[in-house]
Structure formats: structure tokens, C-alpha cells
Structure 1
Amino acid sequence: MSLTCRGCEKVVRSIYDRSLRLTVLGSGYVGLPTAALFADAGFKVVAVEVKRKGMLN
């Protein structure tokens, strides 16, 4: 694999060993399932929703 940016190796390694922490902005129809799938895959995930309605409907 060829990496062209500084720090890319660290990011790629953290993806493979599941130590990468993710933040999903928006917890509506797309964001919440996306966050759940990443969490189910073993990543630490924080889902952020500004509008209360987004999480309730």
C-alpha cells in the first residue's frame, strides 16, 4: 500500500485494529444507523444530534 500523506499509516492502523474513534454528526435516518453499524463493527462512536426531533422521529 502506498501512502502519500503524513500520519496516514497511523490512521490506517487504527482502522484495522479498531482503535479509531468516530463522531457521526446527525442522528436521523442516516446518521443513527451509520453510527450503529460502526459501533457494531467494534469502533468507538459518538453520535451528535443538535435537533431533538431528529432522534425522536
Structure 2
Amino acid sequence: MSNQKDLNRFIIAQKTDYAAALSEIRRGRKTSHWMWYIFPQIKGLGLSETSRF
């Protein structure tokens, strides 16, 4: 599998959630769970298992 195909799987997987996140940002109210992968944390700030990647 090429590198481009490897990256495209993330684009495809997040396409719907990205649209929802953008809509929530525009409305000024977060209602779903997208924060951790739309805006990844800086290394060392988070304490959860998810923040380690």
C-alpha cells in the first residue's frame, strides 16, 4: 500500500466527523466527540491513554 493510500484512510474516516466539528465550532457549542483527533494534544499535556499518541 502506498503512503498516499495510508493517509487517505484517515481522510475518509474523518470526513463526516470533520463536517460535524466545523458546524459545532461555527455554532459555538461542542456536542459530540471529535476534539481529540481534530485538535491533537501537545505531548505531555494530557494524562489519558489517548493523549499519548
Shorter chain as denominator, the TM-score bin is under 0.3
Higher RCO (CA < 8 A, seq sep 6+) = 1
Q: TM-score scaled to structure 1, two decimals?
A: 0.24
Greater helix percent: which structure? 2
* Greater Rg by CA: 1
More strand by share: 1
